[in-house]
A and B are shown apart, each in its own frame.
Chain A
Amino acid sequence: MRLPAVACLLFALMAQNGHAAAEQVITLPLPHALQVGDTAWIQVQVGVIGPGQEIELTTASGRELGVISPYGVRLGQASGIYTLPVPADAIRDDRIALRLTITQAGTAARAPTMQEVRSVKLILNRDSH
């Protein structure tokens, strides 16, 4: 039997009242230290974002973790749930410091609002038998 997720952390994030913060780092602690067989994943639930907007995920030190670039989403619809693998060495001291940024040319990069990114989960996954 496989355990789909041995740990899941839901993080309430970003600026209050839907206003964007200029920049914000969120720190997600692992529920336990990574063990043999564990893999770590970031799962982002994206709300409504505008055409051409993307959400970049990096560590606090700037290491790229991936870019969510919605395709095929109808105007005004939420963009869905995206799951990214996290390199083990992006995790330091049993935690990951994460920066989410809304990017769009011609405007300053900024932190997403609560309407744009509804949740961020850190998932540890392990298969067992």
Chain B
Amino acid sequence: MVRFTRREFLVTAASALGAAAFPLTSSWASPVPPVKPRPTAKYTRHNVASPEGQKMLASYAKGVEAMLKLPADHPQNWFRNAFVHLMDCPHGNWWFYAWHRGYVGYFEQTIRALSGNDQFAMPYWDWTQHPEIPSGMFDGVLSPTDHAYEPYTGNLAVFSSFIKPTLSGYWDRLSPAQRTQLDARGYPTFDDLWNDVTGYSVAVKAGISGNESFATTCAARYLSRSNPKLDPKTTYDVSPFVVLSGLAPIDFYNDETLQSFSSSKTPSHNTPPSGATKFCIIEGFPHNKVHNCIGGVGPLDPGPYGNMTNFLSPIDPIFFLHHANIDRLWDLWTRKQKHWNLPYLPTGKDLEDLANEPFLFYVDGKGNPVGPSKAGDYFNTEAFDYDYTPGFGEAMLQLRGPLLKAAQVEPLRGTVSANAGSVSVPSDLIQSHLANMQQKPLVAEVTLPRPDGVATAREFDVLVNAPEGVTQVSADSPYYAGTIAFFGPIMAGMKMSTETTFAIPLPKTLRAFSGLGAAKATTLNIRVVPSGGQGGTAPTLQAISIKAL
């Protein structure tokens, strides 16, 4: 079977994601080029940073407020909805994506019904592009620290008197199948469940603050309007490099973690993580770290933390924007697989096991129990008839499919002198590059330092065999290979690499490739100039090489 290798994927995707080029060694991406959304779904989930996303936030707030006002015995009460997560959410296993798709999907129906906006769709928070909590999520009921929560979460006694009696009654009415699942989760009795609310440990006969899922109103979220940014470590865990690595696997499940899009295969979605659990990258890093950072892991140690750190995390409305983004990445990964004619689900017995897992705790948009549903009901977005506007990673779909594998060629390393690179490329390699449209492209890797804080130019055009006097080109120039775009300056405290390597696929239309003649090799002279009349000077080239992807 023809496949992309992971490195090929990362380099290629990175190249496309940065429009013309992308820094392989940096954690910052250029803005994603515009891609039209697929116009097929009834509902569209927008980036919360967009005007449409902001409108959705207004509806979201209305829906949250309505849910807060529902009595505790109503299945759509805000806190009852959060308990669905505490009682049933899978983590560290291959049902993570499907279960949360169902959970967010039914929740979205509820907000649609209670907000009065029949077009409501959950906006997503693209933390890779915007590593800070969207400002609107500090307004009113969209923050769990708002005074509207105080009648319920003012302290643990208040919360207990509000929710515990009705929750205990709900427990008593659970079906045998639901109780069996809760047994597997470690909740054979209601008291066991409630211990995870209070943090009480039977083993040590004491409360453990870090294990307390309840959070008092004033401490329900650590990040605040005046301190909205994900910390630098979390920012790294949501960086393009980590997220692209998580999207790179071509198997939904593989025993080898680094080739698996999903986490461990377990007997039940309620199997708690253990020492043998293998976390896939998307769950293990962006997902986990964003949860914990917002909840205050680190600054609030040893707890109690804000809601996001434990399993009552859906009490914080940011939960659903976070998981919409995780869901978007699953959708993106699925579309990538389809785009490349690769399977996007397991096969055979594995598929049966994955698809037939019962999910028994959902509540629909009308407040009714969904009843027995299966993981397979949530394998695609048609279940809730939505799609996403493009976010980080979307540009990978502009790549060609799993094409014929190029003969592996060691990088051809060039020399750099007087801020120009020179590399000799065998003519037969160029001819192969030109002749076969299925061939993977030749790529120039250009290494240069990130502009320092006082430099004005941030984008640079890469020229190939341009005459000496040419310092500006348009995109259709026969000397133009692409544009390198740095995003932002070196960030304080980010430990960013100052030396950055970009991969630039070489257009077949370069004049350097015409008239090869009989020579065994062609010399490519590569220069980098400020793009589009930005002025300033180009950084000093550090290295040049040519390779076939």
Contact = CB atoms under 8 A, between A and B. Distances in A.
A52 B303 contact: yes
B211 to A, nearest CB: 5
B299 A62 contact: no
B348 interface: no
A80 B495 contact: no
B278 A83 contact: yes
Contact of A81 (B8, B89, B257, B291): B257
B476 to A, nearest CB: 32
A79 B275 contact: yes
Contact of B309 (A63, A71, A77, A80): A71
A80 B300 contact: no
Interface in B240-255: 241-242, 245, 254-255
Contacts of A45: 275
B3 interface: yes
Interface residues of A, number: 57
Contacts of A4: 254-256, 259
Contact of B495 (A53, A63, A127): A63
Contacts of B280: 83
A69 B303 contact: no
B301 interface: yes
Contact of B272 (A73, A83, A87): A73
B7 A39 contact: yes
A84 B285 CA distance: 9
Contacts of B277: 79-81
Given A41-B258, A75-B208, A82 B8 contact: no
Contacts of B91: 71-72
B60 interface: no
Contact of A67 (B208, B241, B289, B311): B289
A2 B302 contact: no
A83 B288 CA distance: 13
A36 B233 CA distance: 29
B257 A69 contact: no
A75 to B, nearest CB: 5
A99 to B, nearest CB: 12
Interface string A7-43: 0000000000000000000000000000111110101
A67 B285 CA distance: 7
A37 B5 contact: yes
Nearest to B264: A80
Contacts of A126: 5
A77 B92 CA distance: 13
A82 B284 CA distance: 7
Given A67-B289, A84-B285, A85-B245, A54 B297 contact: yes
B209 to A, nearest CB: 8
Contact of A39 (B6, B292, B303, B497): B6
B454 to A, nearest CB: 24
Nearest to A103: B298
Interface string A93-126: 0000000000111110000000000100001011
B497 A68 contact: no
B272 A80 contact: no
Contacts of A38: 7
B256 A52 contact: no
B411 interface: yes
B229 interface: no
B161 interface: no
7 contacts: A36-B7, A36-B410, A50-B210, A53-B301, A85-B242, A85-B258, A105-B301
Given A72-B89, A80-B284, 5 more contacts: A52-B298, A52-B309, A54-B233, A68-B284, A125-B259
